[in-house]
Amino acid sequence: MKKSPEKRIAALYPVLRDHFGFQHWWPGETRFEIVVGALLTQNCAWSNVEKAIANLKAAEALSLAAMRELPRERLESLIRPTGYFRQKADRLTRLLAFLADDLGWNGVSPLKRDTGKFRRELLALSGIGPETADSILCYGFGRKVFVVDAYTKRMLSRLPIAVADDYETIRALFERAICRELDGSLKAFKDLHAQIVMLGKHYCRKSTPRCEACPLFRARLCRRRRV
DNA sequence: GACCAGGCACATC
DNA sequence: GATGTGCATGGT
């Protein structure tokens, strides 16, 4: 009897959680910080995002109203450590304009908006792709959406699961796994992604694959594979 | 000095 | 529709 892909995905969770512990993600103190961090982390190391967040805090610009008041050059200089600072300043400005002007967000409250509609609107913004949109939805606004990232794809390629490499197929698979084989809670949506990032950072980096010590390899859930 | 990091948009074939 | 390239900084 062959295990379904959903069962295989779900089986990863207890192994990862036992190894890394519950992650309490997203690493951000406020909803606004999470939204900003989700955009700033695009193609850069989280340590660089932390520097930018620290800059914004020091400048007392880590709130919706304050950030929108910032001159463009000032915003660019504060987020500079995350790279692509001109693009990101532009993307951030457009995102905040959408949230505030179109949705009437005050920068703090949750939003009552249909998740599917909200997601399509975010994706229509320049610079908001599926991973950024889903990070904002899941961690920023508490929606049951699974975030697929580079680590998720890399991990999947090392598991005995045949699945297409496109974002939506993978997202749907993980969402079915969480809803059918785990408890389907928001906490599970958040923590499974967080666990995969931990796995990626410690054992699944491009340059330093350490399969022997990887908790999934030790639990015989992951096959050894040269990179 | 090359390569990588929790992407995305746009051009080109 | 797949594949390549620009965007830019900081750590290894």
Q: Which positions on strand C lie below 7 Å from a protein C-beta?
A: 7-11
Q: Choose the weakest-confidence range: A163-167, A182-186, A209-213.
A: A209-213
Task: Decide: residue A181, CB within 10 A, 0-12 exposed, 13-18 middle, 19+ buried.
Answer: middle
Specify the nucleotide whose C1' lies closest to residue A88 (CA): C7
pLDDT in tens, A28-79: 999 999 999 999 999 999 999 999 999 999 999 999 999 999 999 999 999 9
In Å, what is the separation between the CA of A221 and the C1' of C4? 35
User: CB of A159 within 8 A of CB of A205?
Assistant: no
What is the fold of A5-24+147-218? Endonuclease Iii, domain 2 (1.10.1670)
In Å, what is the separation between the CA of A164 and the C1' of C2? 15
Q: How far is CA A164 from the centre of its chain?
A: 20
Q: Which positions on strand B lie below 7 Å from a protein C-beta?
A: 3-10
Specify the nucleotide whose C1' lies closest to residue A34 (CA): B6
Q: Given the structure tokens 């599970």, which residue do they identify?
A: A188
- CB of A94 under 7 A from strand B? no
pLDDT in tens, A25-39: 999 999 999 999 999
User: CB of A100 within 8 A of CB of A32?
Assistant: no
- CB of A3 under 7 A from strand C? no
Name the average pLDDT for chain A: 94
The ranges assigned to domains in chain A are: 5-24+147-218, 31-107
Q: Give the mean pLDDT of A153-176.
A: 93
- CB of A44 under 7 A from strand C? yes
Cis preceding linkage at A26, omega within 30: yes
pLDDT in tens, A112-146: 999 999 999 999 999 999 999 999 999 999 999 99
pLDDT in tens, A92-104: 999 999 999 999 9
- CB of A47 under 7 A from strand C? yes
CA distance readout (Å), A194 to A4, A80, A144: 23, 25, 14
- CB of A201 under 7 A from strand B? yes
Q: Which segments within chain A are labelled E, that is strand?
A: none
Residue A154 and residue A205: Cα distance in Å, rounded?
A: 9
What is the fold of A31-107? Endonuclease III; domain 1 (1.10.340)
- CB of A51 under 7 A from strand C? yes
Number of H helices, E strands in chain A: 12, 0
In Å, what is the separation between the CA of A87 and the C1' of B13? 27
In Å, what is the separation between the CA of A196 and the C1' of C9? 25
Of the candidates A93, A54, A86, A99, the one whose C-alpha atom is nearest the C-alpha of residue A70 is: A93
Specify the nucleotide whose C1' lies closest to residue A154 (CA): B6
